[in-house]
């Protein structure tokens, strides 16, 4: 997969995670940087709806339970829908 990614223009393989940057004092600089969710598959979109945090991976839409103020989600994802995009999933980008 690394060879395919470099040919497609990516300099490094996907980290397969979402990093949380939190500006606790409102000065425009993130004081907190944590790995929010790991174990994803080339995530490219996210949305918070109610108490669920949705992530669009290259191959599927998944959701996680979310509580306000959390800095790390360890729950297993709940499958929502497949995102069929062929071999390279390019349509999602």
What pTM did the predictor assign? 0.77
> 31 — alpha (psi -120 to 50), left (phi > 0) or beta?
alpha
Q: What is the pLDDT of residues 32-46, one digit of tens each?
A: 899 999 999 989 899
With H, G, I as helix, E, B as strand and everything else as coil, classify residue 4: helix
Q: What is the pLDDT of residues 61-90, one digit of tens each?
A: 999 999 998 999 999 999 999 987 666 656
């Amino acid at each position: 997969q690394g060879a395919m990614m470099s040919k497609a223009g990516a300099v490094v393989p996907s980290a397969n995670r979402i990093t949380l940057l939190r500006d606790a004092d409102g000065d425009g600089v993130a004081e907190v940087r944590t790995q929010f969710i790991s174990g994803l598959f080339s995530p490219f979109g996210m949305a918070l709806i109610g108490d669920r945090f949705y992530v669009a991976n290259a191959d599927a839409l998944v959701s996680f339970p979310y509580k306000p103020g959390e800095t790390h989600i360890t729950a297993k994802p709940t499958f929502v829908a497949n995102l069929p995009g062929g071999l390279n999933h390019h349509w999602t980008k």
